[in-house]
Structure 1
Amino acid sequence: MPITADPALDESVQTALTACGVTPSMLGGDHEVTTPLTGQTVASVNMASVDDVSAAIERADVAFRTWRDVPAPERGQVVKRWGELLTEHKVDLAVLVQAEAGKVTSEALGEVQEMIDICDFALGQSRMLYGRTMPSERPGHRLMETWHPIGVVGVISAFNFPVAVYSWNTALALVAGNTVVWKPSPATALCSLATDALLARAIAECGAPSDIHQLVITNPESAAPILDDPRVALVSATGSTRMGKEVSPRVAARFGRYLLELGGNNAAIVTPSADLDLALRGIAFAAVGTAGQRCTTMRRLIVHESIADDLVERLISAYGTLTIGDPRDEKTLVGPLINEASFTAMQDSLDQARAEGGKVITGGRRVLADENPGAYFVEPAIVRMPRQSQVVHTETFAPILYVMTYSSLDEALEMHNAVPQGLSASIFTQDITEAEIFLSARGSDCGISNVNIGTSGAEIGGAFGGEKETGGGRESGSDAWKAYMRRATNTINYSGELPLAQGVEFL
């Protein structure tokens, strides 16, 4: 297995893989997995072909015929055991998340904790797949709804949350009685192998059908059957808006379902009444956490003109204290970008911002290049922008915070809602009227809207997702389980008569 020039990294990765149940036979192949910590190869894996993907769908479809008839609370036991194994191997899996996605230690551990949390949630949900009983207009009749599994669920996940968002889908899909075919980002293949191995162990220990979960590490071209095969009842895809525009029409063409979690271009409004110390902490984490590579990263800051200069100076000071570097160091707060392409995109956006009258007031430079020539560590950037500009309408997956000013709340809301994305939003205010307006129909048009916290850091208890070009999908908590099931309306006649609805008479 190819290794990096960092023996400590290689040893920790190999130890974590072994602990999670990944055997040497699962490694080695034509695809090299690199780490953003150094830019070097840490392992290689085989990439699935189109035929391999089709075969995985076939296995999952056959397994569904058995799995759908298993009582939901029994299905929940598989997810319960998976959660126990994730708890046992939390540090091991976090090591792999860190090595492949570049997250600082607390964020890598937090991602695995999200998996554990959704397993807990899904276990409870397995006893609460509720339908309703409605009053019938006909005597001696009962009207009700029931919920049933839909079949094979295809899950396409992204590099930035290589295991958490996938688990939101998988835990709920499994307790709903579906089977899963998972296509992760090839950039995070090792996380995927380890996660699949732990789930396979849970499935075996619970005596469930072995094929209810299928992992296919492959490129977008070879993953085509997930989009095109009618046996895949639902495609849940996380990624860019561009990707969503390719996925949705193909799945819709065969009348399949899709659940999209796409781009976010998230903003916070800071009002004159805001607690600026609180706002500063919320903005800093939301803007620079995961090196700006979250779909909920704060990318726009809309500040009242009376406090903008003060807040910006505070932010500049806070940014100056950020420790950038090896995410394995406990003091590090900002790790690397995923690759060179992300760094290039960041520089292009900063150039566009300058061309549109913006001023980069701090950050934007690559650092640590001499020590890590293959890695892309950057200083998070703050850019003062005019109120009217185009670059702020585009999501750049890097730590750039565009700062704009407003004079009235209506103006701030108009600026906030002007972008094509609609994922996460926040307002910092001590004025209850401003908070309520922000959360009302005339306020934020995002799927997630917060008061006095940042735009990132969602809990699994609430449904996660956004509107407009974010795709409209909902995952994780609340009633997101319904996306993985089909609803049937049932009428039971116990009257001995045959009255028709609406008073219709026939024969």
Structure 2
Amino acid sequence: MKQTIDEMPLRQEITDVLHQLGIKEVNPAYSTGLEWGGTEGRTTRDILSPADGSLIASVNMATAEDYETIVSTAQEAFKVWRMMPSPKRGEIVRQIGEKLREHKEALGKLVSYEMGKILQEGLGEVQEMIDICDFAVGLSRQLHGYTMHSERPQHRMYEQYHPLGIVGVISAFNFPVAVWSWNAMLAGVCGDVIIWKPSEKTPLTAVACQHIIRDVLADNDLPEGIFNVIIGDAEIGSLMANDTRIPLISATGSTRMGKKVGEAVGARLGKSLLELGGNNAIILTENADLEMAMNAIVFGAVGTCGQRCTSTRRLIIHENVYEQVKERLLKVYPKLPIGHPLDSTTLVGPLIDKDAVKAFQGALKHVQKEGGNLLIGGDILEGVGYETGTYVTPAIVEAENHFEMVQEETFAPILYLIKYSGDVENAIELQNGVKQGLSSSIFSTNLLETEAFLSHWGSDCGIANVNIGTSGAEIGGAFGGEKDTGGGRESGSDAWRIYMRRQTNTINYSRELPLAQGIKFDIMD
């Protein structure tokens, strides 16, 4: 279903948003929180909207010298920031959350226009930032360790957590601000300083966030270097991954990228937090409530035009309801409103760029050669409103789980229908039969089926949902996955621990020096 939008009011709306968020025609290459730098003699990159192909603004690309400036500034800021009590750091994060509330509408629109996700998702992403700020404020008073009983008399043991130092965050285009905030707000209350390298495809939202944060830092007389951003290409990411001055790198992106980062960080014995690819499945048993499942399936498959790491890629359907589910989907898909992401009636926006379109087409050709049956979709839309060549019709393909293309993650709206027979164990085996292990879901009203799915021999993913889809995680729980997804955990629960160094302490308050394990070691006079 075609969607159009009136261009003239839209142009003015975008102009107003850019002005409110401090976006210039050409934006500096880096920010130390208070000051901007990297404005002259640098390569520039034009940022075009995938929605209409318009130039939004340009950015200067950082140099190796800019990177050194950022790191040295962050090192000095850490000496000040770590000395603030954690609840005081939480107060700064609270104020950042309030500023985000003030700018939610504008920032949400910029997220949508720069990345291509629909406005509801753009606003939801900013709300996620606000929510993690609230979470981090509470966390700032709960950075607890444990106490243990010592085997030695008049000894006390406990453990505590200290700030790590600089945390490097490498974020992806599909969630240009939310994933950064998961890391930055938690690391911030933990006493760390942050260097953020946003995706070069969506850097303007990062520039906007720095402008928002600047006011809070200035109002509280804080030094520059606590929240930093550097705009650059893969070279900057490589510098971060290999830099021993950055004890933790949190990287979000493809498995291929994550392996390179993990190898570099591991070679220097640093810490890495990797959030990588997903190949997520929904299981529909014969006991599923199909009415409830349908919205979850469609949002999971076409939300963000299939460009979420938690997007639903595979639909594993019991043979007794397979034809019914297929028929329902084939009725829904032609009615999906595809169009400009800022049109309130749009449900499917564009892919990020033409490279993503090529990957989409290539995957469909490949899977059909393997024997897949393309049921609907796969077209590139043309004509008024679709001049960018980035709008596609979401595809549904009948396939088998072992197909090479089904085993891979394609960052596009392709949903593979896979039939299973017999017990739920067969469906779980199919779901687990891929390299990735991020998000998973089962729809069933049968307690035995859902509990099997959640058991230790059930879903092997970091996220396992019952009667909700694979996409749309809340910030309260730890987010991340297993296997080729990287094993990282961000956001809620006790994910904060990775941003700190753990220390065990033993205090002797006696006048003797007994050794552990009963060891005798007496020095002769």
- State the TM bucket, normalised to the shorter chain: over 0.9
Q: 2:510 aligns with which of 477, 487, 495?
A: 495
Give the corresponding residue for 1:281. Answer: 295
Partner residue in 1 for 2:315: 301
Q: 1:476 aligns with which of 469, 472, 491?
A: 491
Deviates more, 1:146-155 or 1:42-51: 42-51
How is 1:12-23 mapped onto 2 (pairs within 5 angstroms)? 12-22=13-23
Establish whether residue 109 from structure 1 lines up as the match of residue 123 from structure 2.
yes
Deviation (angstroms), 1:388: 3.5
Matched, 1:427 2:421: no
Q: Per the alignment, in what secondary structure is the counterpart of residue 332 of structure 1?
A: coil
Question: SS of 1:382's equivalent?
Answer: strand
Deviation at 1:495, TM superposition (A): 1.6
1:402 corresponds to which residue?
416
Report deviation, 1:206: 2.2
How many residue pairs align between the two structures? 503
Shift of 1:205: 1.6
- Which residue of the partner structure matches residue 521 of structure 2? 506
Q: Of 185, 191, 194, which residue of structure 2 is paired with 1:177? A: 191
CA offsets 1:442-471 (integer angstroms, 9 cap, x no match): 110000000000000000000000000000
The Cα offsets for residues 310-330 of structure 1, whole Å up to 9 and x where unpaired, read as 011111112122100011111
Corresponding residue number in structure 1 for 2:35: none
Q: Name which of 450, 466, 469 aligns with 2:481.
A: 466
For the residue of structure 1 that corresponds to 2:202, the secondary structure is helix
Local SS of the residue matching 1:377: coil
Asked if 2 retains the 8 angstrom alpha-carbon contact of 1:173 and 1:180, the reply is yes
Offset of residue 93 of structure 1: 0.4
Bigger drift between 14-23 and 133-142 goes to: 14-23
SS of aligned partner of 2:201: helix
Q: Distance in 2 between matches of 1:212 and 1:64?
A: 7
In the alignment, the residues of structure 2 paired with residue 26 and residue 336 of structure 1 have an alpha-carbon distance, to the nearest angstrom, of 25
- Aligned residue number for residue 166 of structure 2: 152
Kindly provide the amino acid, as one letter, of the partner of residue 73 in structure 2.
R
Q: Which amino acid in structure 2 is aligned with residue 19 of structure 1?
A: Q
Q: Which residue of 1 aligns with 2:388?
A: 374
Structure 1: runs of 5 or more not aligned: none
Paired with 1:308 and 1:225, the residues of 2 have a C-alpha distance of 50
User: What residue is the counterpart of 1:75 in the other structure?
Assistant: 89
Return the alpha-carbon distance in structure 2 between the equivalents of residues 70 and 237 of structure 1. Answer: 27
Q: Retained in 1: the 8 A contact 2:24–2:57?
A: no
* Distance 1:43-1:387 versus aligned 2 partners, 3 A rule: closer
The AA in structure 1 aligned to 2:21 is C
Cα deviation for residue 21 of structure 1 reads 3.7
Query: Could you tell me how far apart the structure 1 residues matched to 2:269 and 2:383 are?
Result: 49
- CA root-mean-square deviation: 1.5
Give me the whole-angstrom Cα distance separating, in 2, the residues matched to 1:240 and 1:91: 29
1:168 corresponds to = 182
TM-score for both structures, normalised by structure 2: 0.93
Q: CA deviation at 1:223?
A: 3.2
Structure 2: state its 5+ residue gaps: 1-5, 29-38
Q: Which of 112, 133, 138 does residue 152 from structure 2 map onto?
A: 138
Q: TM-score, normalised by structure 1?
A: 0.97
Letter of the 1:99 partner, please give it: Y
- Change beyond 3 A, Cα 1:271–1:142: same
3-state DSSP of counterpart to 1:379: coil
**Contact preservation (8 Å) 2:437, 2:462:** yes
Post-superposition CA distance 1:4-50 (Å, at most 9, x none): x9554443333223323445673686110010011232111111011
- The structure 1 segments of at least 4 consecutive aligned residues displaced by more than 6 Å after TM superposition are none
Amino acid in the other structure paired with 1:450? N
Which residue is equivalent to 1:26?
27
Which whole-Å deviations, capped at 9, do the CAs of 1:202-228 have from their partners, x for residues lacking one? Answer: 122222222111110000113322111
Structure 1 distance, partners of 2:453, 2:481, is: 16
Moved more, 196-205 or 478-487: 196-205
Give the direction of change, closer, same or farther, for the CA distance of 1:454–1:469 in structure 2 (3 Å limit). Answer: same
